[in-house]
């Protein structure tokens, strides 16, 4: 049995015998790798290649979480989610991207930022890495609202008490993985080491290295 002190993810890469990209869209694509297995056999792995994402759990002074709802065509549902966006500029600082997304989706800014959790959204099928920030000390953003377009025109915004979100997640009423992860991670942080134990907003992120500053 592995000692609990050794429970951490480690970088590893099995030999790739061949690789091709049969489809490349505007932002993401599909890659096919022929991978050598430990027993010497080979296996084909098809997965989505993704630039990475950021998301924001914005918590106000009344312990309410800012959430947004929009239509998601692949699952044919209008889902409640956390504000989020792509890291579609190579090397972009994820904090800067998160601040932009909070402004664009909710016309909001935050005085304090920390890293809540980092995770791979679906590591068996995509290389998408997501950094989820905790944003506090909230205020309305200055200037004009972001000019939304496309599906963003349908975004709804709400603020929901954290305890209520936890209950909704456990009741199976909410399904967005980032919202579920953020809600439960924040609840765990508040009931254990507290928010001061969270990592600084500029912490290293090996999955998606970025420029400091």
Tokens describing residue 66: 């800012």
Please list the residues that pair with 84 across neighbouring strands: 55
Which of 36, 112, 151, 152 is labelled catalytic? Answer: 152
- Strand ranges, E, within the chain: 16-24, 29-36, 42-49, 53-59, 64-72, 77-81, 84-86, 108-120, 129-140, 156-161, 199-200
Residue 18's contacts (CB-CB under 8 Å, 6 or more residues apart) are 33, 34
Q: With left for phi above 0 and alpha for psi between -120 and 50, is residue 177 left, alpha or beta?
A: alpha
142 a catalytic residue? no
Report the catalytic residues: 152
């Amino acid at each position: 049995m592995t000692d609990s002190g050794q429970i951490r993810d480690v970088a590893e890469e099995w030999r790739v015998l061949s690789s091709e990209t049969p489809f490349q869209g505007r932002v993401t694509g599909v890659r096919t790798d022929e991978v050598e297995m430990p027993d010497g056999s080979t296996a084909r792995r098809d997965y989505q290649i993704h630039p990475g994402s950021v998301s924001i759990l914005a918590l106000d002074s009344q312990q309410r979480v800012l959430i947004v709802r929009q239509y998601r065509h692949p699952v044919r549902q209008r889902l409640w989610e956390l504000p989020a966006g792509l890291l579609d500029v190579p090397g972009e600082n994820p904090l800067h991207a998160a601040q932009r997304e909070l402004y664009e989706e909710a016309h909001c800014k935050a005085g304090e930022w920390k890293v809540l959790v980092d995770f791979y959204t679906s590591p068996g099928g995509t290389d998408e890495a997501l950094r989820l920030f905790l944003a506090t000390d909230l205020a309305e953003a200055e200037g004009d609202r972001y000019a939304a377009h496309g599906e963003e025109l349908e975004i709804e915004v709400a603020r929901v008490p954290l305890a209520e979100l936890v209950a909704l997640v456990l009741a199976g009423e909410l399904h967005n993985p980032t919202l579920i992860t953020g809600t439960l991670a924040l609840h765990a942080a508040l009931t254990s080491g507290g928010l001061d134990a969270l990592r600084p907003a500029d912490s290293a992120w090996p999955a998606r290295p970025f420029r400091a500053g």
